[in-house]
Chains A and B, each alone.
Chain A
Amino acid sequence: MLGKAWNWIRTSQVWSSIFRHGIPRDRRTRVMAIMSNVFLHLHPVAVRKSGIRLSFTWCMGGLTFFLFLAETISGVLLMFYYRPVPEYAFADIIALRAHITLGLLREIHRWGAHAMIIAIWLHMMRVFLTGSYKPPREFNWGVGVILLVLTMLLSFTGYLLPWDQLAIWAITVGSNMGKATPFVGMQGPFTDMVQLAGVPLVTTKSDAAFMLLAGTSVGENALMRFYVLHCIALPLAAATLIAVHFWRIRKDGGISGPL
């Protein structure tokens, strides 16, 4: 009875319009399963047996990607509740704990972010120690370095959003570095020399820190700017580069191993 129903489903037009192959039981259908699925086909069809051992990869790159997805999902849900203006931001964070069913969204997002940073560092360490950045993977290593920087920037911009003491002073310490940028920061070396006919081109309202904060200190403009960077700009950039990163892994010969 059940077998009959299952058979009917599998031979229906709906099922066969979605899955172009049989149950992946033999070599041909297993290859088809990877090739005919847009997400799975980021993988090669076959990989080195040694490459997928946990002792070789530690699964740290995969874990980083998993955490990116977890951050995206929990982040979208958080956006339903959070308003990026000083009047509401902190109160909304409190409300997230107090009034929302289970109240774990922010915890998942916060701890996931920390874990993602650690995972991506350890992924980099693994790739370095196995020499997997060597030809033909030089370019993909570079993409990975930019992804690492983006991950830290994602975490840095998100740090401000709870609008508590930890947030604004951590961002103040961090963005003070912008003021010290050579040539384009107000307190940086040689900035006084950047002039046009005696008129200074870099002022407290046009230097690198101002560009980052949209103000001379961490205030409501900075909150909005960091919110947009955190929720739209940086995730889009990261997602794009992740696609490049995965595609290049496949094109460069899958998981690395001895030549």
Chain B
Amino acid sequence: METTAPAGRSTYRPPWRLLIGAALVIFMAIPIVTMVIFGDVPMPTSIDKFKEFTNRLSVPEVSLTFFFTPLFVAGFVFYKEWTKPVVAIPLGIVFTIFYFGSMVIDANYFAILEKPDNVPISMMLFGTGFLMWWAMRQAAINDENIRQGKPLLEGSKDDKVLVWPDLVYTELICIVIASAILVIWSIVLRAPLEAPANPEGPPNPSKAPWYFLGLQEMLVYFDPWMAGVVLPTMIITGLIGMPYCDTNPKGNGYYTVSQRPFIIFNWMFGFIVLWVVLIVFGTFLRGPNWNFYGPYEPWDASIQPAMTNINLSDYFWNGENLAGFGLGVGLPENMWLRELPGIIFTLAFCFGLPVLLARTVMRRMYLQMGALRFYFMAIHFVIMGMMPLKMVLRWVLTLKYFIYLPELNFNL
């Protein structure tokens, strides 16, 4: 961006995008470098070593932290660059070759992908990926046009056509094509059907329908009342409330990123990383006992990873695993006193943090939106943030619950 600076002022601006890009590359390289140098993971010099390498890197704590999230951030920051056809088409081709080519080199991966109930997952992945590119491409062009004062791709308000014939014929053509695809799909692929229902013999793993697997994945980190009831309810209330909270008048009716970056970043993070990616994890990579298996790993039900999960109250009163940090006095008898640190933390996180945000980094937003809109948005926002927070605390501190009140079935 070229700017003409007033006399006497420095024209220097830090190259933010370059710095962010470099930071993301370094961050994404951390697990690969550390695993190769300090771990027992071989360099991927043959197909078998490549498979082991990929399996080791695909565990959620590594892949979500060091791969999917930074990749999402990079996709958002550099949307003007990667959406250019010269970049996007080769990227798409490489991904497609990797995605389907892996079926040739590995029988386990082949078995996962050709399972009839998993066919929609591939469709979802490629459909979402392609349409995301299409949307971001148009946003990039529009944003450039806005910057240069040129008209948008979507044209002006007065440019109207009659529904007959322009729209009804488009609809007719779509109906014909969609019908043909649906019939051909149904001829080629049988609908999934397993053995007759046996109420005595649950399969291992037992999975919910694929579109709920993001929530089932959340069961690893949260109890069912949270993953299966509160979070889905908040997704629905958050979505319905969104138009009333988004007071930004710009970006109404056309593709843009630069005019509404905050909401696009957060909404797309929720949809792509916390919904679509977790569904792929749930369908492709969760095997017997809901254990995690890499894409090229056989589903061996006898593997039982050791799990020692510790509650926040243990950390606070006992100082478990963190000698010197806890009080070391043992858990109190009274359940409310015992869980007091967790309760304070949870209340502070869900209700104190929004107030803090309103007074500091989101002050401008708070003033624009007003209290009711802001706190509705902020509470949904921090509770969405609680998902990655709990995941990271589980991986780093093996934290099980913030609040552990089995007396009331209330564990968070």
Residue numbers of A with Cβ under 8 A of B are 24, 27, 30-31, 33-34, 40, 43-52, 54-56, 58-60, 62-63, 66-67, 70, 86, 90, 93-94, 97, 104, 106-112, 114-115, 117-118, 121-122, 125-126, 128-135, 137-138, 141-142, 145-146, 149, 152, 155-156, 159, 162-170, 172-174, 176-182, 185, 187-193, 217-219, 256-259
Contact = CB atoms under 8 A, between A and B. Distances in A.
B167 A47 contact: yes
Interface residues of B, number: 93
A192 B409 contact: yes
Contact of B199 (A33, A94, A142, A217): A217
B242 A256 contact: no
15 contacts: A27-B162, A50-B153, A52-B170, A55-B153, A58-B131, A104-B186, A110-B191, A122-B128, A142-B240, A164-B193, A168-B198, A180-B229, A189-B409, A257-B254, A258-B252
A118 B120 contact: yes
Nearest to A108: B186
A259 B211 contact: no
A108 B203 contact: no
Contact of A130 (B157, B193, B250, B253): B253
A155 B253 contact: no
A153 to B, nearest CB: 11
A182 B229 contact: yes
A121 B271 CA distance: 9
A94 B223 CA distance: 38
Contacts of B178: 63, 66-67
Interface in B225-261: 225, 227-230, 236, 239-240, 242-244, 246, 249-256, 260
Interface of A is mostly: helix
A30 B224 contact: no
Nearest to A191: B409
Interface stretch (B55-63, B68-76, B133-141): B133-141
Nearest to A166: B194
B212 interface: yes
Contacts of B186: 104, 107-108, 111
A181 B229 contact: yes
A188 B119 CA distance: 35
A257 B154 contact: yes
A30 B242 CA distance: 38
Contacts of B182: 67, 70, 108, 111-112, 115
A191 B407 CA distance: 11
B15 interface: no
Interface string B193-221: 11111110111001111011001100000
Contacts of A172: 202, 206
A215 to B, nearest CB: 11
A43 B170 CA distance: 13
A24 B215 CA distance: 51
B332 interface: no
B189 A165 contact: no
Contacts of A31: 162, 164
A185 B251 CA distance: 43
B165 A30 contact: yes
B228 A180 contact: yes
A163 B197 contact: yes
Contact of A155 (B127, B135, B211): B211
Given A129-B139, A176-B224, A50 B155 contact: yes
Given A111-B182, A131-B254, 17 more contacts: A40-B163, A49-B160, A49-B166, A50-B153, A66-B175, A111-B191, A121-B128, A130-B253, A133-B242, A145-B239, A159-B209, A168-B199, A169-B207, A170-B206, A172-B202, A185-B225, A189-B225
B253 A256 contact: yes
Interface centre among A106, A109, A145, A172 (most CB of B within 10 A): A145
B40 interface: no
B362 to A, nearest CB: 20
Contacts of A163: 196-197
Q: Rank and list the top 5 A-B pairs by shortest CB-CB distance, nearest first.
A: A177-B228, A107-B186, A180-B224, A138-B243, A189-B410
Contact of B236 (A63, A130, A149, A168): A149
